[in-house]
Amino acid sequence: MDIPAIFNGWQGWMIVAIVLAIGEMFTTNFVLLCFSIGALITSLLVYIFNPALAFQLFVFAVVSTILLLSVRRFFLSIIKSNDKEKTNVSALIGKQAIVLEDINNSESKGRVKIGGEDWSARTIDGESMKKGTHAIVVKIDGNKVIVTSKSKDKNINKGE
């Protein structure tokens, strides 16, 4: 059986490594990266020692398997640990706000300023809040922030 010319040297394994590395750019699971590194190591082995094809395939399989079982889990844990950071409107919860316009839920009026941004606001308990009052953002409801007065937030945290 003739071996295709592309696998007669280290260049074939290098091409496989590059193609797999490019494929990894379109995925996020690090499987192709493990195989790419396996092909790269096999390419280096073939360049230095030029072993038989069966041994090349064995090295590729062993290196790729070891990488799949060890390194992939590490990379995925790094990605998942970054997901815990609050972003966008979720980052506003717990922030301090200043009432810019009296908040009155029954009239659907009220505005607060949070970190330089002006937001439509309502109170969590339905009570009104006067302009200049300091409040804490409790949750986001569509394009409105739901706030509570800073003094009530302290009482809630104390368990009163």
49-60 per-residue burial string, b: 16 or more CB within 10 A, e: under 16: eeeeeeebeebb
| Domain ranges within the chain, ordered by starting residue | 5-84, 88-150
Paired with 140 in beta bridges are 145
Residue 159 pLDDT: 45
Segment-wise mean pLDDT, segments of 10 residues, the chain, 160 residues: 65 95 90 95 95 94 94 77 69 93 94 94 93 94 91 54
- DSSP line for 86-132: --GGGGGTT-EEEEEEEEEGGGTEEEEEETTEEEEEEESSS--B-TT
Residue 158 pLDDT: 46
Residue 64 pLDDT: 96
Decide yes or no: CATH 2.40.50.140 for domain 88-150.
yes
- DSSP line for 16-33: HHHHHHHHHTT-SSSHHH
Residue 73 pLDDT: 78
* Tokens at 85, concatenated: 């950071």
- Three-state DSSP at 50 gives coil
Residue 84 pLDDT: 62
